[in-house]
Amino acid sequence: MHESAAGAIERPALKKVAELHPTLNLGNFIEATRTVPDTAIALIDLTERDPKTLTYGDLEREIRLCVGAFRALGVKRGARFALALPNCRLFLIGFLALMRIGAIPVFINSHLSNDALRHIVTDSGSEGLLADLEDAPPLALLASVPGLRWRLSRSGSGPESWHSWPAVLDGVSPDDTVETVGFDDQAFQPYTAGSTGMPKGIVLTHGGMLWGIEHSQMYYPPSVDERGIVAAPMFHKNAMRGVIKPMLRGGCSVVILPGFEPRQFLETMSKYRVTSSGGVPAMYADILREEDLIRSLDFSALHLLSMGSSSVPAELSARLARAFPHVGVKESYGMTEVGGPTRPLTGVPTPLGSVGVIAPEYEAKLVDDAGNENAMAGELHLRAPYVLKAYAGLPEITAARIYDGWLRTGDKFRKDEQGFFYFIGRADDMFSCGGENIYPKEVENLILKLPDISDAIVVPLPHETKSFAPTAMVLPRPGSHVEPKAIQDFCASNGPAFAIPRAVLVVKEIPRTSAGKPDRKAAQALLSKTFGTLKSPSRKG
């Protein structure tokens, strides 16, 4: 029992973990609970030149072969082993295989800076690295990291200090090893994006992750004919927790794309009869620009579009609902550290702009800036078995963020009388303009009410009298032309005075992180370079 997170509330899904997973090993979650036959389709991998369809039987055989390869190398229980791979089935197979032998996979975003890559491998104490050197050649430089015993190239190409993964697989026998672990034993270690410094390792447990899987299966089970799609990076929780784990736990199928390209994404959803899609808001903003495909392709199988992992403007949800009138559009909320704590309320439509209500078996409270619990607004604190065990090697940050099993999320919410939660923004994103507290989402949502605007990022810039003031980077819809003053006039007529962007830059492309989220740091740097310190308009007469 995860005592600090379990509290006194009833958690039926927690009981399911012990009943269904006797080894408590996340790496075996599919086989431990599978009810579909070997011949049922599990994965459609579109990341290679020739598409590959894997049945559940194929998937299990590839996992066991991978277990055999890692054991032949000498990888032991407790070893950290980094995965620096683009989207592909090997990411999932390697992830599950390593956990089956009690090793700890470490997720790496291959396109981080060289310093950040080296930091993750060093900070995690990784003894092994399985990397795609063709996708990200700078990864080859990590061979010099002390303590890195196993350096494996996915394709087999690379410097002499790297070993060929295909050669390792050749000749090994499948291995059905599944180590028994404890509920609180570490399962794997993803890393934060590093937007406020170097990435931080997140210690997630086998029991907590299995509870998250069984929680979704108990309260929100998919039918076996469901098909999800993954285009977001697989090292990101939006792909793994939001799509892959619940789909494969439910005996469904998943289409894996190498990455996100809006036209390819739409065409794939139509061709492969995808029933539901998860992703970050920026992906859907890009999709809406492809009006010809939305009109011409068959999306009759599609019934749900879900957005999360970053702020979702209500206007974007409204636009999606208009573009796909037969499809449900859901704004979701989640964190790598705590899973998906909000869900729709059964039988009650979720209001536009809400992420839903607190899911069963989660505990939640809103805390104001003075540290007092507030029924209607404040920072969201959460408690559940999913909550991370610690930030790896960072006891001060762990103590500051986690107390008595509760996680201080750093996210501000308000709650209505029905119990629906509305994400306001990250506490770190808020800035003061002339004494008014502003969250970028408020201004972004206002700007997106203009029909000619496809996407927008709002960030603060220094102001000579107001400390900071909002500035906007906007992307017009295809074929549209917008003037900065027209955007400012619209905001002045339709919102509060403090929400008027003091400067507007019209761009052909919105900067994005490698996870597909708006890159606010890059946007702020460009806006700062363009406008500098903002000034109040001069008064005439």
Domains of the chain, residue spans? 431-531
Can you tell me the distance from the alpha carbon of 50 to that of 47, in angstroms, rounded to the nearest whole number?
A: 8
Radius of gyration of the chain (CA): 24
Can you tell me the distance from the alpha carbon of 398 to that of 388, in angstroms, rounded to the nearest whole number?
A: 9
DSSP conformational letter for 309: S
One-letter amino acid for residue 287 of the chain: I
Whole-number Cα distances in Å, 283 to 204, 275, 309: 27, 17, 11
The pLDDT score that the predictor gives to residue 4 is 37
Whole-number Cα distances in Å, 315 to 259, 342, 425, 491: 25, 20, 16, 14
Q: Please state whether beta strands 453-463 and 467-476 pair in parallel, antiparallel, or not at all (unpaired).
A: antiparallel
The pLDDT score that the predictor gives to residue 129 is 97
The pLDDT score that the predictor gives to residue 541 is 39
Whole-number Cα distances in Å, 450 to 123, 221, 308, 478, 494: 46, 38, 22, 14, 10
The pLDDT score that the predictor gives to residue 38 is 97
Burial 15-53 (b: 16+ CB within 10 A, else e): ebbeeebeebbbbbbbbbbbebeeebbbbbbbbeeeeee
One-letter amino acid for residue 167 of the chain: A
DSSP conformational letter for 373: B
Q: Please state whether beta strands 150-153 and 128-131 pair in parallel, antiparallel, or not at all (unpaired).
A: parallel
Q: For every one of its 541 residues, what pLDDT tens digit does the chain have, with 9 covering 90 and above?
A: 333 334 478 999 999 999 999 999 999 999 999 999 999 999 999 999 999 999 999 999 999 999 999 999 999 999 999 999 999 999 999 999 999 999 999 999 988 888 889 999 999 999 999 999 999 999 999 999 999 999 999 998 888 889 999 999 998 999 999 999 999 999 999 998 755 568 899 999 999 999 999 999 999 999 999 999 999 889 887 789 889 999 999 999 999 999 999 999 999 999 999 999 988 888 888 899 899 999 999 999 999 999 876 667 778 888 899 999 999 988 888 888 999 999 988 888 889 889 999 999 999 999 998 899 988 999 999 999 999 999 999 999 999 999 999 999 988 999 999 999 998 877 777 787 766 778 788 888 889 889 899 889 898 888 877 778 889 999 998 888 889 999 999 988 888 877 889 999 999 988 887 767 778 888 889 998 999 888 876 544 3
Can you tell me the distance from the alpha carbon of 37 to that of 259, in angstroms, rounded to the nearest whole number?
A: 30
Three-state secondary structure readout of 489-524 = HHHHHHCCHHHCCCEEEECCCCCECCCCCECHHHHH
Cα atoms in the Cβ-side hemisphere of radius 13 Å centred on 19? 6
CATH 3.40.50.300 holds for 431-531: no
Asked if 368 contacts 378 with a C-beta cutoff of 8 angstroms, the reply is: yes
Closest by CA position to 379, among listed 354, 414, 352: 414
The pLDDT score that the predictor gives to residue 361 is 96
Strand partners, 414: 377, 422
The pLDDT score that the predictor gives to residue 27 is 98
Task: Output the pTM of the full model.
Answer: 0.85
Can you tell me the distance from the alpha carbon of 30 to that of 58, in angstroms, rounded to the nearest whole number?
A: 13
The pLDDT score that the predictor gives to residue 424 is 83
Cα of first residue to Cα of last residue in the chain, in angstroms, is 73
Can you tell me the distance from the alpha carbon of 77 to that of 95, in angstroms, rounded to the nearest whole number?
A: 14
The pLDDT score that the predictor gives to residue 537 is 66
DSSP H stretches of helix in 273-371: 281-287, 291-296, 314-323
Whole-number Cα distances in Å, 87 to 47, 362, 471: 7, 31, 35
The pLDDT score that the predictor gives to residue 315 is 81
The torsion angles phi and psi of 200, rounded to 5 degrees, stand at -110, 135
